[in-house]
Amino acid sequence: METYALLFGSMLSAGTVLALAALGELISEKAGVLNLGVEGMMLCAAIAGFATTVSTGSYIAGFVAGVLAGAILAAVFGWLVIWLGSNQYATGLALMLFGTGLSAFVGAGYVQESLPARMRFTWFGLGDIPIVGPALFRQHPLAYGAMLLTALMIWWLYRTRAGLVLRSVGESPESANALGYPVRRIRLAAVVFGGAMSGIAGAYLSLVYTPLWAEGMVAGRGWIALALVVFATWRPLRVLLGAYLFGGVMMLQFFLQSESIPIPSEFLAMTPYLATIIVLALISRNATWIRINMPASLGKAFNPVS
Amino acid sequence: MTDLSKRNTLRLAAAAAAGVALTGYGIRPARAADGEPLKAAWIYVGPVGDNGWTFTHDNGRKAVERKFGDRVQTTYVENVPEGPDTERVARDLVSQGYQLIFGTSFGFMEPMLKVAKDHPEVKFEHCTGYKTLPNLRTYEARNYEGAFLAGIIAGMMTQSNQLGLVGTVPIPEVLRNLNSFALGTRVTNPKASTKVIWINSWHNPPKETEAATTLINGGADILFQNTDSPAVLETAESMGKYAFGWNAPQLAYGPKARLASSIIDWSYYYTHAVQEALDGTWATGPNQWWGVKEDTVDLVDVADFVPDEAREKMEEHKAGLRDGSYAIWKGPVQDNTGKEVVADGVVPDDDWLKAINFYVDGVEGKVPGA
């Protein structure tokens, strides 16, 4: 029983990285800008956070550095795509490549470094309750932060005026512009927020999840987060559940391997992706639902002078 | 002023590019004149900053520079993907006049063979390969000996009798390491049992962490790995268990968790190969497989808190490997279904070791795909 509780707990932390990056990307896409550079931003944030914490000894400083790294890269991307009108897909890929290379370059000096004492959490002693404790109460604060963020995002997007404005910019920037909203600035703000969230996710990875720096350590999770947003049809709760599903099946397949279940490990390695695609596709198979939730101007440039 | 219409500009650009390409790949002697330094190049599959496989190869390269000084000129190319890119990099190095080229990954085999056939005057060395040519030979390290020595310590120190190994891809090389580790644990602890999780990747720190966590949650208290990053060691440290460094010392990552490190020291092999090239005695031949005896593989930096008994047992077996009196794979050896794979008193040869495709008694589960 203890093993299953630990499995559940590790599912939560595995899903947190994906959830944080995906929720940020969701806001960016809701405003109509598709940022393919999530992986690059996460890598830069990972090295920024790691290097800062190694130099200053403070985890808070590390997370702040990660957020800034993600936000700055996203701001550059936003300027290129929104003001200069460059192709969103190509620029996003360029950002990804740039981020990968820059992080490797900066990180070359930090490969041998390790962080000050690892954090262990048990909230108000709840972490010691048998079964429920290891399952729910031994997480880093950001794991709970991801859940809180999802709730806040649902409220903000669907119950506030500001969220409505963001969604309208994503649906029809021409109409929003005609109503007098500063479409480009709203899009930039959304993109920067997406970058900041990728930054937090990257910093979480290098400071909490695998506290070391190794080149390319994000290992494709940025791409998974990107795909999650689409498969979850741009709904925050589905994104969160998709992230946990992916993280959970990933831990489950390792668990099955260690229990010597006679399924080939290559097949098991496929299951997280397969499960996530199947579940999310089934939930969102209604074509009307997809039409309602997909931002209509996603990927299209907007030029207010035209 | 030249005509700068679009069509003409494109034509000019194409001509300029062709001109540059032709001069770049122009006729250049492949053999340096006497008195000029020997040019040697290394092709790496990963980054020098991986603190593992590629890191140790680069340390070997630096040792060559230190030993031979002005007589050699070295370079390296990192992060070269296996496939057409390898060929491109190899051809580029040849055209720059490099006469001795080392390729450090199994997947470089076919591209290197192709380039070697086209340039018989250049010497190639392929790590962990098995095909040779008159100007291409293969070499590797017996890191399974390091795994075995680690197993000796692990078997003595485990309290749950459960060990875990984070494996990469279930190819004979990794199975050999896994089995040697298990054989080591059984030398000191007949009840020791090893679980293995395959992450199907050589370098993926988050997955390594997840696999290590799963093994520890399943009861393992000492971990071993075949992956390239220190993530497994780091996870063991954070969960209060033990692990080993792999390929490189990785001292910083687990001050309380690291029992010892199984390392590869390529400096001996690389200085030997470069010396042969300088002396003119370099020749192709059977696979060069160097281990503890040649100081290429070792179990080092045994932690202070390891009990003396375990340390002595390990040193005893290391000495046996060094002088050739002890053979890890001497029969009788059974696989984990009870079948005998090595008969009593038989010591299998290198070819048999390279084709291992089973789990030895002491490892749980079944080889994936077998």
Read off the pLDDT of residues B293-330 as tens digits, 9 standing for 90 and up: 888 899 988 888 899 999 999 999 999 999 888 888 88
Three-state DSSP class for residue B130: coil
- Using a CB–CB cutoff of 8 Å, tell me whether A210 touches chain B: yes
Instruction: Determine whether the interchain pair B51/A269 forms a contact, defined as Cβ–Cβ distance below 8 Å.
Output: no
- Residue B153 tokens, joined: 């310590």
Please give the class, per CATH, of domain B143-264+295-353: alpha beta
Does the structure's ipTM exceed the value 0.90? Answer: no
pLDDT(A1) > 80: no
Band (B344; pLDDT cuts 50, 70, 90) = confident
pLDDT(B67) > 90: yes
Tell me: the pLDDT tens digits for B92-128? 999 999 999 999 988 899 999 999 999 999 999 999 8
How many angstroms separate the CA of residue B324 from the nearest CA in chain A?
Answer: 35
Instruction: Determine whether the interchain pair B252/A113 forms a contact, defined as Cβ–Cβ distance below 8 Å.
Output: yes
Same fold, B31-141 and B143-264+295-353: yes
Q: Determine the pLDDT at residue B28.
A: 39
**For residue B195, which residues of chain A lie inside 8 Å, CB to CB?**
258, 260
Which residues lie across from B297 on neighbouring strands? Answer: B264
What average pLDDT does this structure show over B57-82?
Answer: 92
Q: Determine the pLDDT at residue B33.
A: 47
Tell me: the pLDDT tens digits for B167-186? 988 888 899 999 999 999 99
* Of A49-53, A144-148, B13-17, the least confident: B13-17
pLDDT(A14) > 50: yes
Supply the CATH classification number for the domain B31-141: 3.40.50.2300
Closest CB to B230 among A107, A212, A251? A212
Instruction: Determine whether the interchain pair B238/A112 forms a contact, defined as Cβ–Cβ distance below 8 Å.
Output: no
Percentage above 90 pLDDT, chain A: 58
Percentage above 70 pLDDT, chain B: 90
Supply the CATH classification number for the domain A2-111+125-293: 1.10.3470
Q: Pick from A212, A259, A271 the residue to mutate for testing the B interface (most B CBs within 10 Å).
A: A212
Closest CB to B210 among A104, A205, A250? A250
Which pTM does this prediction carry?
Answer: 0.81
Instruction: Determine whether the interchain pair A209/B253 forms a contact, defined as Cβ–Cβ distance below 8 Å.
Output: no
Preceding amide of B332 cis, omega within 30: yes
Q: Determine the pLDDT at residue A150.
A: 96
Instruction: Determine whether the interchain pair B199/A214 forms a contact, defined as Cβ–Cβ distance below 8 Å.
Output: no
Q: Which residues of B make CB contacts under 8 Å with A? A: 46-51, 55, 164, 170, 195-201, 203-211, 213-215, 217-218, 229-231, 234-235, 237-238, 252-253, 364-366, 368-369
- Domain residue ranges of chain A, discontinuous segments joined by +: 2-111+125-293
Percentage above 90 pLDDT, chain B: 50
User: Do B116 and B122 touch, CB atoms closer than 8 A?
Assistant: yes
Q: How many residues does chain A have?
A: 306
Spell out the alpha helix ranges (H) of chain B. Answer: 6-24, 53-68, 84-95, 109-118, 143-157, 172-188, 205-217, 231-238, 267-279, 308-323, 350-353
Q: Determine the pLDDT at residue B30.
A: 38
CA gap A18, A221 in Å, rounded: 7
Tell me: the pLDDT tens digits for A60-100? 999 999 999 999 999 999 999 999 999 999 999 999 999 99
What average pLDDT does this structure show over A281-285?
Answer: 79
pLDDT(B27) > 50: no
Tell me: the pLDDT tens digits for B141-160? 998 999 999 999 999 999 99
Q: Which residue has the tokens 């070697």?
A: B116
Those residues with Cβ within 8 angstroms of residue B151's Cβ, 6 or more apart along the chain or in another chain: B180, B181, B182, B183, B184, B185, B186, B187, B224
What average pLDDT does this structure show over B270-294?
Answer: 90
- Using a CB–CB cutoff of 8 Å, tell me whether A243 touches chain B: no
Tell me: the pLDDT tens digits for A173-182? 999 999 999 9
- Using a CB–CB cutoff of 8 Å, tell me whether A4 touches chain B: no
Those residues with Cβ within 8 angstroms of residue B31's Cβ, 6 or more apart along the chain or in another chain: B99, B121
pLDDT mean across residues, chain A: 90
Query: Which sign, positive or negative, has the C-alpha torsion B196, B199, B202, B206?
Result: negative
| Chain-centre distance for alpha carbon A175 | 30
- Domain residue ranges of chain B, discontinuous segments joined by +: 31-141, 143-264+295-353
